[in-house]
Structure 1
Amino acid sequence: MEPRVSLITLGVSDLERATRFYAECLGLPRIETPPSVTFFELGKTWLALWSRESLAADAGLAPEGSGFRGFALAHNVRSPAEVDALLERVAAFGAKVTKQGHPTDWGGYSGYFTDLDGFLWEVAHNPGFPHV
């Protein structure tokens, strides 16, 4: 397998609401798609939003499930102030800030939020991370 992630698909409860959050709140660049799915281009990786039921059916799984999913998506920014500003912005759009921005033991600054469907995101300033 080549070392890359091509597509991240999130199974969402309300596609229109989730699309608005990712487009209007996070400002992700949307790609023209059919009405049943939304794609955003994130450089060489795309983010897809698809109904939770459709994604589960496609994978041959039941759509039930909640709580901690065992992973987090992460977005690195240029400064601690950008961490705090983004956490404030997502909260204003209805996301839940689960951990406010704070200095970390690895020399950075980070906080967490869950999007409107409960997907966990870390927002971090890591002075040693090359991709910002």
Structure 2
Amino acid sequence: MSLRLSMVTLGVADVAAATAFYEALGLVRGAPSEAAVTFFDMDGVILALYGRAALADDAGVAAMGDGFRGLALAWNVTGAAAVDAAIARAVAAGGRLVKAPERAFWGGYSGYFADPDGHLWEVADNPGFPFDERGALRLPEA
């Protein structure tokens, strides 16, 4: 059995509001979605939105506060203009600009936004990580 990232579930304060935000970014709600949970197919990885308290209860842990969670999701694109456009789109949809796009120490260009629940997203153009023919990000070959 190989380890694969198949689903990311974000605990959110309001499923309907979070759903509207991600739909404004262009995601399409999947058929199994309902009031308590929304699913988006992100070309092989499912993004799920579920109530924060319900998710904590399901895992048997205490709900976390609103501070840094030690996690950032990444949205890789091609070119600085695409990074700028993606950040602008997220902010227009109700996200919060966390770090304006800029040249990065690792040679790319990136910035950060937070969704309405504070989940961090980095939008990056990383010339060292190529996309394959399906548009999936790949690690560079040694």
The reply to whether TM is greater than 0.5 is yes
| TM superposition score normalised by structure 2 | 0.87
Equivalent position SS for 1:5: coil
State the identity %: 53
State the alpha-carbon separation in 1 of the partners of residues 90 and 130 from structure 2.
24
Report what 1:58 is aligned to. 58
1:10 aligns with 2:10: yes
Report what 1:114 is aligned to. 114
Report what 2:29 is aligned to. 30
Give the drift of 1:100.
0.5
State the alpha-carbon separation in 2 of the partners of residues 123 and 49 from structure 1.
20
Structure 1 segments of 4+ aligned residues over 3 angstroms from their partners = none
Q: How does 1:74-93 map to 2 (within 5 A)?
A: 74-93=74-93
Report what 2:140 is aligned to. none
Q: Which moved more, 1:9-18 or 1:32-41?
A: 32-41
- 2:71 maps to a residue whose letter is F
Equivalent position SS for 2:88: helix
**Size of the alignment, in residue pairs?**
131
> Once the two structures are superposed, what CA deviation does each residue of 1:30-81 show, in whole Å capped at 9, x if it has no partner?
2112221000001111000000011011001122422100010000011100
Which blocks of at least 5 consecutive residues in structure 1 are unaligned?
A: none
**2:15 and 2:37 in contact (8 A); partners too:** yes
- 2:57 maps to a residue whose letter is A
**Higher relative strand content:** 1
Give the drift of 1:29.
2.6
State the alpha-carbon separation in 2 of the partners of residues 64 and 75 from structure 1.
24
| TM superposition score normalised by structure 1 | 0.93
State the alpha-carbon separation in 2 of the partners of residues 116 and 35 from structure 1.
18
State the alpha-carbon separation in 2 of the partners of residues 64 and 28 from structure 1.
26
State the alpha-carbon separation in 1 of the partners of residues 35 and 98 from structure 2.
31
